Structure 1
Amino acid sequence: MVEAILRSTLGARTTIMAALSYLSVLCFVPLLVDRDDEFVYFHAKQGLVIWIWGVLALFALHVPVLGKWIFGFSSMGVLVFSLLGLVSVVFQRAWKLPVVSWVADRI
């Protein structure tokens, strides 16, 4: 994982808002509230990509035979990337998660 260098105050509010980014639909809170803070906005965009991935995984359940497998692997991926994002916030780092950051940069 590559680490981005971002400007931020890194106070308690910033850490909480960045952590909300990786908690499912709560990714919209920092995305809408703290657009000025680069650290929070970076994590909010990655959290949004992970959330979209989770929503798309639900649609995989409608695919016969392989749907449950696709959903299971996707759910595991969403969980792992969300935990990695939360660890990144706790350590006050901006880790670029593989594939997720590539998509987030294009948003």
Structure 2
Amino acid sequence: MVEAILRSTLGARTTVMAALSYLSVLCFVPLLVDRDDEFVYFHAKQGLVIWMWGVLALFALHVPVLGKWIFGFSSMGVLVFSLLGLVSVVFQRAWKLPVVSWVADRI
């Protein structure tokens, strides 16, 4: 769909909306408001997948013994992928994050 798009003339609103995609539950704002912008929609879908991963990580805390480990590694993964997504937005690119983009393409 979107392959490493380089946009030199992104507006401030587009950049802010794309950045909101990677800030936890705020990923729903771009999904609902800027659905027509392909750049924002791409980032919003990836942000939604990362948010769902974070929510699922919370449920791992209910698993005895291994739950804390699973939660810890998942939380680090969510943080790393969110930061990579934000860097992608800052550089005005649409980087396909490993695994995250695979799931996002199926949404």
Note whether the superposition's TM-score is higher than 0.5.
yes
Q: 1:85 to 1:76 in 2, by over 3 A?
A: same
* Offset from partner CA, 1:19-41 (integer Å, 9 cap, x none): 00000000000000001000000
- Please report how far the alpha carbon of residue 5 of structure 1 lies from its aligned counterpart in structure 2 after TM superposition: 3.2
Which residue is equivalent to 1:70?
A: 70
* Partners of 2:2 and 2:42 within 8 A in 1: no
1:10 Cα deviation (Å)?
1.3
Where do 5+ consecutive residues of structure 1 fail to align? none
Q: CA deviation at 1:4?
A: 3.0
Gap regions ≥5 residues in structure 2: none
Distance 1:62 1:39 in 2: 37
TM-score by length of 2: 0.94
Conservation of the 8 A alpha-carbon contact between 1:7 and 1:38: no
When normalised by structure 1's length, the TM-score is 0.94
RMSD: 2.3
- Number of aligned residue pairs: 107
Q: Is the 8 A contact 1:6 1:39 kept in 2?
A: no
How far residue 8 of structure 1 moved from its aligned partner, in angstroms, is: 9.4
Distance 1:37 1:6, change over 3 A: farther
Give the structure 1 partner of residue 91 of structure 2: 91
